[in-house]
Amino acid sequence: MTVYPSRPLVGILMGSDSDLEVLEEAFDALDSFEIPFEVKILSAHRSPHETAAYASSAAERGLRVIIAGAGWAAHLAGVVAGHTTLPVIGVPIDSSPLQGMDALLATVQMPPGIPVATMAIGKGGARNAALFAVQILATSNADLAARFAAFKARMAADVVTKKNKRLEDYLQQRKSGKSS
Ligand code: RP5
């Protein structure tokens, strides 16, 4: 069992406190793998200097991955990626009248040379961002890689056994309802 350092390995950024409910999905997923992380509100538009300073110092402070979630014209992940060599994972947030399509395009359409690994819009994307961060960390940590493999095996077993059992029960009930 690897003992993780207490210093954060993942930085989770959000454009506003109104994004918190979405990013909490990422907190939960990182917690489940015992990955230490830090969380900050930073805005590419409202606090550009602080955002640049955070991203520029992230690698030397020991962070290995940055997750950035934002809504509307969501430039947070892209701006952070411009200021660091760390991998940046973007989460488009559905906080605007365009329901996150604006944030998705602003996050994913990065110019060649500055990639952002863009996840799905909203809570599912936030959870996947954390899982993707775990996968990145697992490339240099055999214990974490084994725990990620076990997590995937549990998901597969859930589909093969529990979900199909529930489906069979439902079909059986449906059939007996029709015959009565
Ligand atoms: C974005 O604007 C934030 O990421 C948030 O999704 C959105 C709205 O922010 P607030 O007006 O709620 O602070 O920058």
Mutation probe of ligand 1 site: the residue of 14, 19, 46 with most atoms within 8 A of C-beta: 19
The Å distance, Cα 172 to ligand 1 centre, comes to: 48
pTM of this prediction? 0.93
The contacts of residue 95 (CB under 8 Å, 6+ apart) are 16, 18, 19, 71, 72, 103
pLDDT digit string (tens) for the chain, length 180 residues = 455 568 999 999 999 999 999 999 999 999 999 999 999 999 999 999 999 999 999 999 999 999 999 999 999 999 999 999 999 999 999 999 999 999 999 999 999 999 999 999 999 999 999 999 999 999 999 999 999 999 999 999 999 999 999 999 999 999 999 887
Give the Å distances, CA to CA, from 128 to 26, 98, 122, 123, 174: 8, 22, 10, 9, 35
Quote the pLDDT of residue 4.
58
Nearest CA to ligand 1 atom 6: 71
- Ligand 1 geometric centre to CA of 70 (Å): 7
- In the sheet where 88-93 sits, what is the strand order? 37-41, 10-14, 65-71, 88-93, 117-118
Distance 26 CA to ligand 1 centre (A): 18
User: Cα of 84 to ligand 1 centre, how many Å?
Assistant: 23
C-alpha atoms less than 13 angstroms from C-alpha of 172 in its C-beta half-sphere: 6
Please enumerate in sequence order all residues whose Cβ is within 8 A of that of 81, keeping only pairs 6 or more positions apart, or say none. 55, 88, 110, 114, 115, 116
| Angle made by CA atoms 99, 101, 107, in degrees to the nearest 5 | 125
Ligand 1 atom at minimum distance from 43 CA: 14
Q: Which atom of ligand 1 is nearest to the CA of 18?
A: 12
Report whether residue 72 contacts ligand 1, using a CB cutoff of 6 Å: yes
Start-to-end Cα distance in the chain: 56
| Residues whose CB falls within 8 Å of the CB of residue 53, separated by 6 or more in sequence, listed in order | none
Q: According to the model, what pLDDT value does residue 5 have?
A: 62
**How far is the centre of ligand 1, averaged over its atoms, from the C-alpha of 66 (Å)?**
19
**Residue 118 in contact with residue 104, Cβ under 8 Å?**
yes
Token look-up 């907190």 returns 27
As a dihedral over the C-alpha atoms of residue 168, residue 171, residue 173, residue 178, rounded to 10 degrees, the angle is -160
pLDDT reported for residue 1 = 47
Atom 7, ligand 1: residue with shortest CA distance:
71
**How would you label 8-27 residue by residue, b for 16+ Cβ within 10 Å and e otherwise?**
bbbbbbbbbeebeebbebbb
Distance 19 CA to ligand 1 centre (A): 7
